[in-house]
Chains A and B, each alone.
Chain A
Amino acid sequence: EAGVTQSPRYAVLQEGQAVSFWCDPISGHDTLYWYQQPRDQGPQLLVYFRDEAVIDNSQLPSDRFSAVRPKGTNSTLKIQSAKQGDTATYLCASSLGRSQNTLYFGAGTRLSVL
């Protein structure tokens, strides 16, 4: 069974540039999460979906970040105008969204904003 796939693995930007991250979850997983993990910190939830619907995006900086999952499978997270404070690893995870909610993570995209 294929795991969660993320691309790119690394991105280096200047402040003000835009970047998109792509995630392909495990087939059949209806719930998909995007986490931001700053260096030496725990993952912090940005947004999560059930199928194509956003369930919680309360921690997503909506002025510069956006996330979509149009067909309830793959997802894209976009930063419109990156800031140095966005430097972090962006993790995608998927799950079956049941009471025993195990998350399966991709390897992440490491973003550096100079």
Chain B
Amino acid sequence: GEQVEQRPPHLSVREGDSAIIICTYTDSATAYFSWYKQEAGAGLQLLMSVLSNVDRKEEQGLTVLLNKKDKRLSLNLTAAHPGDSAVYFCAVTPGTGGYKVVFGSGTRLLVSP
């Protein structure tokens, strides 16, 4: 089945710096890619999603890049602020066989003033 690896597990940046999180996946038929944010004591909230026919998507200071050749998905917070401090997860949905969603192991981001 699909395997997802996420790195780094911890990331510490200064306010205004960029923060980049990377996931790699194994199933070339993966159809849908998402990034979720989890704040302390809460469930996960969707940040952004892309279909497999999209290479790049930008929204409100976030950039998602999809490299299907290398099976790599990245999230770039272009100018992080302390409110971005949270745990971030990538998630992938296969193109066939239903709607099983597999998550990465998470990146704990700390943005200091």
Residues in chain A within 8 A of chain B (CB atoms)? 4, 31, 33, 35, 40-45, 48, 50, 55-56, 91, 93, 95, 97, 99-108
Give the tally of cross-chain contacts (CB within 8 A).
Answer: 66
Give the number of chain B interface residues (Cβ < 8 Å): 26
B106 contacts A4, CB within 8 Å?
no
**How far does the alpha carbon of A90 sit from the alpha carbon of B106 in the complex, in Å?**
16
List the A residue with the shortest CB-CB distance to B106.
A42
8 A Cβ contacts from B46-102 to A: 46, 49, 51, 89, 91, 93, 98-102
**How far does the alpha carbon of A102 sit from the alpha carbon of B34 in the complex, in Å?**
8
**How far does the alpha carbon of A103 sit from the alpha carbon of B99 in the complex, in Å?**
10
A56 contacts B91, CB within 8 Å?
no
**How far does the alpha carbon of A40 sit from the alpha carbon of B102 in the complex, in Å?**
16
B42 contacts A103, CB within 8 Å?
no
A56 contacts B104, CB within 8 Å?
no
CB<8 Å pairs between A and B, sample of 24 = A4-B43, A31-B99, A40-B106, A40-B108, A42-B89, A42-B103, A48-B99, A50-B99, A55-B99, A55-B100, A91-B44, A97-B99, A99-B32, A99-B51, A100-B49, A100-B51, A101-B101, A102-B49, A103-B36, A103-B44, A103-B101, A105-B36, A108-B42, A108-B43
